[in-house]
Copies of this chain bind each other. A is one copy, B any other.
Amino acid sequence: MSEGGEGQPVFRRLCLLGIGLIGSSVARAARARGLVGEIVGHARSERTRATALALGLVDRAEADPAAAVIDADCVMLCAPLGAYVPLTTAIAPALAPGAVLTDVGSVKGCVVRDLAPLVPGGVHFVPAHPVAGTEHSGPEAGFAELFEGRWCILTPPAGTDRAAIDRLAALWRGMGSLIEEMSVDHHDRVLAITSHLPHLIAYTIVGTADDLGEDIKQEVIKFSASGFRDFTRIAASDPVMWRDIFLSNKEAALEIMQRFSEDLTALQKAIRRGDGDTLAQLFARTRDIRRRVIEARQA
C-alpha cells in the first residue's frame, strides 16, 4: 500500500464511526480528492445511515460498528466523546492489524487515557483534532472545503509508529489542513481558551437571554444584529458534543473560566466606579489580538 503516491489513495478503506458534520465532511473531502479507495460508515441511527448512503458519502453503511471496521486500514472516530469507549470496546477485536485508529475529538487527554488501553497490539493509535466546524450538525451539514486552510492537531502518544502518523497527516494535508503535532496536555490547555471557554460563554449569554420574559426576548431577537447574534451562532453548536467536551476537559476548562470570571469582576467594578481610563485601556489592547488573528489568516 503506497502512502498517497501519484494517483494512489492514502488509505485503501476508510471507516467513519459517526457521520455528522465532521464525518460527512471527511467523506466528501477524501472522496473528492481521491485520498481513499472506499468509505464504510457506521451510525447508530438508521436515518443517518440512509442519508449517508443517499448522499453518496459512504459506499456501505453498517449498524454494527465491528462489522464496519473489518479490513479498514484507517478507522476514524467521528462520534461525540462520550461514545468513544463503548465504540472502541466494540470494534477492538475486529480491527485489522496495521490499521490506523484515529479520532476527531476536541479534547485529547481523556481520549488517550481511556482508549490507549483498549487498542490491540499492532493497531496504530493516532489521536487527531481538526480545528474546524460550523454550528450545523448531521450528515447533510458537511462540505468538502471545511478543513481547507484550517489546522489539524495530531497528539500521538510517545512511541507511536512514525509511518502511521505520516500517513494520517497525508490524509489531512490532502483535505487541505495544516498539520501540527503537540502533547495532549498542551492541546487541552490551548483549546480550553480558544474553543471551550468561548462556547461556554456563548451558551451562557444566550441562556441568560432565554430566561428573560417573552416580550423582551422577542426584542432581543429583533435587535440581535448589535452583537448578540454572533453568540447565538456559537451557541447553536451540537449540545451532546459540547456536553462531552466539558465533562472531558473539566480541569482546564474550570481553570480558564476562573480567570475569566475574575477579569469580568474587575470590569464590573470599573463600570460601577465610572473608571473610564481602565475601560478604554482594556478595550484598546484587545484590538492587537484581532490584528494578529487576521495576520495569521484565521479570520
Residues on A facing B (Cβ under 8 Å): 82, 106, 131-133, 135, 150-151, 153, 180, 189-191, 193-212, 216-217, 219-237, 239-240, 242-244, 246-247, 250, 253-254, 256-261, 263-265, 267-268, 271-272, 274, 276, 279-280, 282-293, 296, 298-299
Contact = CB atoms under 8 A, between A and B. Distances in A.
Contact of A216 (B190, B237, B257): B190
A75 B18 CA distance: 60
A285 B243 contact: no
Nearest to A268: B257
Given A204-B260, A227-B234, A254-B271, A221 B293 contact: yes
Contact of A198 (B133, B231, B240): B231
A231 B133 CA distance: 16
B198 A242 contact: no
B286 A224 contact: no
A290 B254 contact: no
| Copies of this protein in the complex | 2
Contacts of A200: 264, 267
Contacts of A196: 227
30 contacts: A131-B223, A135-B290, A189-B216, A190-B220, A191-B226, A194-B220, A197-B208, A197-B227, A198-B228, A203-B267, A203-B286, A204-B263, A208-B260, A209-B289, A210-B289, A211-B259, A221-B298, A223-B298, A224-B298, A232-B289, A236-B291, A239-B284, A243-B279, A243-B280, A247-B276, A253-B271, A254-B271, A254-B272, A257-B264, A257-B271
A40 B206 CA distance: 42
A64 to B, nearest CB: 26
From A276, A286, A292, name the one whose CB has the most chain B CB atoms within 10 angstroms.
A286
Contact of A298 (B189, B201, B229, B258): B229
Contacts of A250: 271-272, 274
B211 A293 contact: no
A283 B206 CA distance: 9
Contact of A236 (B226, B267, B287): B287
A195 B82 CA distance: 35
Given A224-B296, A239-B287, 16 more contacts: A131-B223, A201-B201, A204-B264, A205-B260, A206-B286, A206-B289, A224-B299, A232-B286, A235-B283, A235-B289, A236-B290, A240-B280, A242-B283, A246-B271, A258-B268, A261-B268
A184 to B, nearest CB: 14
